Chain A
């Protein structure tokens, strides 16, 4: 928390994001400043707009209003692949692996954006292409080991146990060398032990210099892990700050438990 006393560098700055579907405002004037090298939590009741915000930040939806900057580079009008190249990688709430490819192939696809061999060098099997393939494979294996599923490298992604699929998605996202890793409910469907292991993995990722943005329902995980937390309700930001202060914010308690409880 000491970092907060020195001037903070914000990796991601989102200003006044709005997204409307017909008459419905899924997001309304949402602004976020995510400090570098932190774990940033995004919580809120179901339907609050968390995943919509994720989709806007990663380019799957285009914001109707507002601006997004990563390290000062504008991503407001970029496509998902450009955003990934700039340094935001994500996982999905309902896992979207390349299910019929092996675990290591999934991670190697993630590496695509940081490698260069084109068609011609693949057809001619140039030494540079072969070297790059070797490096990709070694790098992918390293990431699988890092998330703890190295022994599953040659298994079909779809056939992995649920928890391992979540880890594989994280490994695939890390392969793109993100500055910001956005995780959409990574602990969904996990038991306590698995959640605890995941928490340690996320700490390890943070320690490696990657900033994390996390949507999560597991309040215990969020409070224990996150450096800062933002709360969304009905598409609006109702609270933002350190976990303790957010936890005790009456509006947050009201949003989660209903107004009477406040």
Chain B
């Protein structure tokens, strides 16, 4: 028990010290990157409920991020002239996104695998195109001058001094995002280790058997969709307040794919793995930035734009990981077994297939 307390304290210290260390050694832009990494972590954790726990492939997940972001942008900006507080908009964003999740889930319940992926992809695009073409969302121009997040009198958008240190707004957001990420981790963990979590796992393993054991698979899948979407909505609300400006271009399918990659690369269904995947993929592109300088110095010319190089490296990394470790970098034991099902199984136990 003592050991766990020490480990907990150590983690807490690292989490608190991280932005200060990053700022001192790598510069302030990296702290901002940390903030984004946390937003992606929340998104990946939300998608993990749908893909990792319930085994439903969702390629339109970014739609729920958009729903949360636009909710905040419209109700907390001069756009309509409303300035609602975070404590109201955060749960509203979660609820609204969850109902969108249910709306998406309801007609797709009979679908699995590829078919579900196609329908969800379409859904994601529909939302983005709506946002682009509606007047109320200000079309492709998006919404700007969004209120910074404020709780009581504490505005996250301005710097505050603490013990003589001047902390800029990215620090405020960092700590806000850490708290909410911790909340989402806790909820995810408790769900996975419960009656509902076991039911999701059972559906993922064998849907017919799950139904025959009395599981209401329709309802359970809807709950997975809604729960995952709610986390997407929360991340969206935070994103809009943090960024101060949003447009439909922040919510493309590429973004959905990126979040899915985080989940798959890290290890579907495993919280530590998903968090690692999200942070890794959010930071990786920045890590390639010095490559442009490196090229300038060695060749006297930038041959490969790091932005392109980064996509190349990213794709390569994905391919390598998926070939060598299809279960992800840090998988849950159950997932590892699922993906190595046929490796070392006594012949007598092999199933005849579904």
Listed stretches A16-24, A91-99, A230-238, A252-260; interface member: A91-99
Q: A101 to B196, Cβ gap below 8 A?
A: no
Q: In the complex the two chains form, is B337's CB within 8 Å of A158's CB?
A: yes
Kindly report which residue of chain A lies nearest to residue B194, judged by CB atoms: A122
Task: Judge if A74 is at the interface, Cβ distance under 8 Å.
Answer: no
B213 interfacial contact with A, CB 8 Å: yes
Contact (Cβ within 8 A) B214 A100: no
- Cβ–Cβ contact B209 & A101, under 8 A: no
Query: Is there contact, CB below 8 Å, between A101 and B205?
Result: yes
Which stretch from A78-86, A196-204, A242-250 is at the chain B interface?
A78-86
- Chain A, interface size: which category? 35 or more
Within 8 A of B (CB), among A189-229: none
B345 touches A158 (CB 8 A): yes
Residues of chain B at interface, number, CB under 8 A:
37
Residue ID in chain B nearest A80 by CB atoms: B211
- Contact partner of A122 among B190, B208, B338, B341, CB < 8 A? B190
Q: How far is the CA of A162 from the CA of B214 in the complex (A)?
A: 24
Bound Cα distance from A58 to B208, whole angstroms: 11
Candidates A96, A109, A136, A173; contact of B208 at CB < 8 Å: A96
Digitize B184-221: 1 where CB-to-A-CB distance is under 8 Å, 0 elsewhere: 00010011001111110110011011111111110000
List residues 129-168 of chain A with CB under 8 A from any CB of chain B. 129, 132-133, 136, 156, 158-162, 165
Instruction: Please pick, from B195, B205, B217, B227, the residue contacting A98 in the complex, using a CB distance under 8 A.
Output: B205
In the assembled complex, the CB of A77 is this many whole angstroms from the nearest CB of chain B, namely 15
* A79 in complex: contacting residue of B211, B213, B227, B341, CB < 8 Å: B211
Given the contacts A84-B212, A96-B206, A125-B190, A112 and B217 also touching, CB distance less than 8 Å:
no
Contact A95-B198, Cβ < 8 Å, known A81-B214, A112-B213, A112-B214: no
Please determine whether B206 and A98 come into contact, CB atoms closer than 8 angstroms: yes
Question: Does any Cβ of A come within 8 Å of B348's Cβ?
Answer: yes
Q: How far is the CA of A97 from the CA of B353 in the complex (A)?
A: 12
Tell me if B349 and A101 are in contact (CB < 8 A). no
Whether A60 sits at the interface, judged by CB under 8 Å, is yes
In angstroms, Cα B206 to Cα A59, docked, is: 16
Interface string of B81-97 (1 = CB under 8 A from A): 00000000000000000
Chain A residues closer than 8 Å to B201, beta-carbon distance? 98, 101, 105, 109
How near does chain A come to B50, taking the closest CB pair, in angstroms? Answer: 14
Which of B194, B196, B208, B334 is the most central at the interface, judged by chain A CB atoms within 10 Å of its CB?
B194
Answer whether A81 and B195 are a contact pair too, CB < 8 Å, given A100-B337, A109-B210, A158-B337.
Answer: no
Shortest B349–chain A CB gap in Å is: 6
In the complex where A94-B352, A119-B223 touch, is A172 in contact with B191 (Cβ < 8 A)? no
**Residue A109 contacts which of B199, B227, B341, B351 (CB distance < 8 angstroms)?**
B199
Contacts of B202 in A (CB 8 A): 98, 101, 109, 112
**A160 to B345 Cα, complex, angstroms:** 10
* A123: contacting residue among B191, B216, B334, CB under 8 A: B191
Binding site for A on B (CB under 8 A): 187, 190-191, 194-199, 201-202, 205-206, 208-217, 223, 227, 334-335, 337-338, 341, 345, 348-349, 351-354
Beyond A94-B351, A101-B334, A122-B195: 9 further Cβ-contacts under 8 Å?
A59-B212, A81-B215, A101-B198, A101-B201, A109-B201, A109-B210, A112-B195, A112-B199, A159-B349
